[in-house]
């Protein structure tokens, strides 16, 4: 039996469980079957009506917001990151992730998850959440989100194993609000020359802006990577399709470099998320079994 996307249950921070099904069937041009499904709904949760204070410590030791983000159901699947990275010539501003930069915002009638990056005089305080499944092998990943705030930040939705095994959705707040970037790594060859097919800067459909609520989707199948917005296929790439198990990351950062841009001191940017949906396999064996 195949469970169609339209028949899947709506869940809150829980996993779909259908012991009698063979796979979850997705739609679109990159339709595929997947063995596992997760849906994380942040729209009806208790949280805070006030933004947490900006992080002024470069240690990354701030605690997570009590409640949902410290619950066993969230912590089982997601980990809020606290690693930091020092400055270099190509990234002159130190980066430090903090759990305080991720929170449930319940100030409006519909709640949502928020990630923040804030430019302190001495460093950028950033946010990253990583899914605990480290062996994702092909997936359809969807995030209902919007991005706002100061120029100089990068909002990332991506699969990652290493710097040469990575597929990205990236929103740069220094870009026009109708531009988005889709990339399969690596973007340069061993001589440091850009690879033409690696990264594409796209103009979104007329009237669409990443500062508004939209569903961003990345499909990773064996032969191609496909990027959608609100279920409209925008781009496919055969180049750089990941060939090794990876994990799923969502982050928001700024390091003062050429890529992100240099956020002004005191500036901040935000990625707000209503829900995250994941269809995925966890090994080549699972993929082969589903395809039979």
pLDDT tens column, 71-85: 999 999 999 999 999
Q: Which two tokens stand for residue 190?
A: 């061993």
Return the pLDDT at 16. 44
Return the pLDDT at 5. 39
Task: Give the chain's domains with CATH numbers.
Answer: 2-291 (2.60.120.200)
pLDDT mean across residues, the chain: 90
Return the pLDDT at 283. 78
Return the pLDDT at 165. 94
CA dihedral 99, 101, 142, 256 (to 10 degrees): -110
Cis preceding linkage at 283, omega within 30? no
Return the pLDDT at 21. 55
Return the pLDDT at 15. 43
16-55: per-residue pLDDT in tens? 444 445 789 999 999 999 999 999 999 999 888 899 999 9
Query: pLDDT below 50 — which residues of the chain?
Result: 1-20, 287, 290
Asked if residues 77 and 132 have their Cβ atoms less than 8 Å apart, the reply is yes
In angstroms, the CA 230 to CA 176 distance is 19
In angstroms, the CA 75 to CA 73 distance is 6
**Of 189, 166, 183, the residue nearest 227 (C-alpha):** 183
The model carries a pTM of 0.91
In angstroms, the CA 111 to CA 235 distance is 31
By DSSP bridging, strand 102-105 and strand 165-172 are unpaired
Q: Which two tokens stand for residue 256?
A: 């003062």
Return the pLDDT at 46. 87
């Amino acid at each position: 039996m195949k469970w169609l996307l339209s028949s899947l249950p709506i869940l809150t921070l829980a996993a779909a469980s259908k012991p009698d099904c063979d796979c979850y069937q997705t739609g679109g041009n990159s339709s595929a079957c997947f063995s596992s499904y997760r849906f994380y709904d942040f729209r009806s949760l208790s949280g805070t009506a006030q933004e947490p204070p900006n992080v002024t410590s470069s240690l990354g030791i701030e605690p997570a917001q009590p409640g949902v983000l410290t619950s066993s159901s969230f912590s089982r699947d997601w980990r809020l990151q606290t690693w930091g990275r020092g400055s270099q010539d190509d990234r002159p501003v130190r980066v430090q992730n903090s759990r305080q930069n991720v929170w449930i915002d319940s100030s409006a009638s519909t709640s949502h998850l928020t990630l923040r990056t804030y430019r302190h005089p001495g460093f950028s305080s950033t946010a990253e959440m990583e899914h605990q499944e480290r062996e994702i092998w092909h997936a359809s990943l969807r995030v209902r989100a919007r991005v706002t705030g100061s120029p100089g930040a990068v909002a990332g939705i991506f699969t990652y194993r290493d710097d040469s095994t990575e597929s990205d959705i990236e929103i740069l707040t220094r870009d026009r609000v109708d531009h988005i970037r889709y990339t399969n790594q690596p973007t340069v060859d061993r001589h440091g020359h850009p690879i033409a097919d690696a990264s594409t800067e796209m103009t979104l459909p007329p009237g669409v802006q990443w500062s508004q609520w939209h569903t961003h989707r990345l499909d990773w199948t064996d032969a191609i990577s496909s990027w959608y917005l609100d279920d409209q296929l925008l781009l496919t790439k055969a180049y750089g399709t990941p060939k090794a198990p990876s994990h799923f990351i969502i982050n928001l950062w700024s390091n003062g470099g050429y890529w992100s841009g240099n956020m002004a001191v005191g500036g901040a940017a935000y990625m707000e998320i209503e829900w995250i949906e994941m269809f995925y396999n966890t090994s080549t064996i699972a993929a082969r079994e589903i395809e039979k």
